[in-house]
Amino acid sequence: MGLVRGLVLPRLSVVLLFLLLRVTGAQSPPSPTSLSLFSNARALDALLQDYAYQAFVRPRTGVVYDGAVPSNLSGIQVSAMRLRSGSLRTKGVSTYKQFEIPKGVKGQPYTERLVLVYQNLGNWSMVYYPLPGYTYLSPILGLLAYDAADLMARNLPVLDIKASGQPISIKFLGLQSVPEGSVPKCASFDLNGSVSFSRVLSDNICTTFQQGHFSIAVESISPAPAPFSSPPPPPPPPQRVISGTPDEQEGSNNSKVWIIVGSVVGGFALLIILGLVIVWLCKYKHRKKMHQMERAADVGEALHMTTVGSTKAPAATGTRTQPTLETEYIP
Same domain, 117 and 221: yes
* Number of domains forming the structure of the chain: 2
Query: Same domain, yes or no, for 190 and 260?
Result: no
Q: Where are the beta strands (DSSP E) in 111-259?
A: 113-120, 134-136, 141-147, 160-163, 168-171, 185-189, 195-199, 205-208, 212-219
Please tell me whether residues 34 and 113 are part of one structural domain: yes
Same domain, 226 and 254: no
2 in any annotated domain? no
206 part of a folded domain: yes
Report if residue 309 sits inside a domain.
no
The boundaries of the domain holding residue 264 are: 246-283
pLDDT tier for residue 234 given thresholds of 50, 70 and 90? low
Rounded percentage of the chain residues whose pLDDT exceeds 70: 69
* 152 and 116 both lie in a single domain: yes
* Statement to judge: residues 258 and 163 lie in one domain: no
Indicate whether 83 belongs to any domain: yes
- DSSP for 31-46 reads PHHHHHHHHHHHHHHH
Q: How far apart are CA 88 and CA 100, in angstroms?
A: 12
Of 244, 265, 299, the last residue of a domain is: 244
Indicate whether 203 belongs to any domain.
yes
Asked if 156 and 49 count as a contact pair (C-beta separation under 8 A), the reply is: yes
267 and 123 co-located in one domain: no
Nearest to 113 by CA among 90, 96, 88, 93: 88
According to DSSP, the residues that pair with 140 across neighbouring strands are none
Average pLDDT (38-56) is 90
Residues 210 and 269 in one domain: no
Same domain flag for 163 and 258? no
One domain for residues 169 and 268: no
pLDDT score for 304: 65
| pTM greater than 0.75 (yes/no) | no
* Residue 265 lies inside a defined structural domain of this protein: yes
Residue 3 in any domain: the answer is no
* Same-domain status, 222 and 279: no
Confidence category of residue 88, pLDDT binned at 50, 70, 90? very high
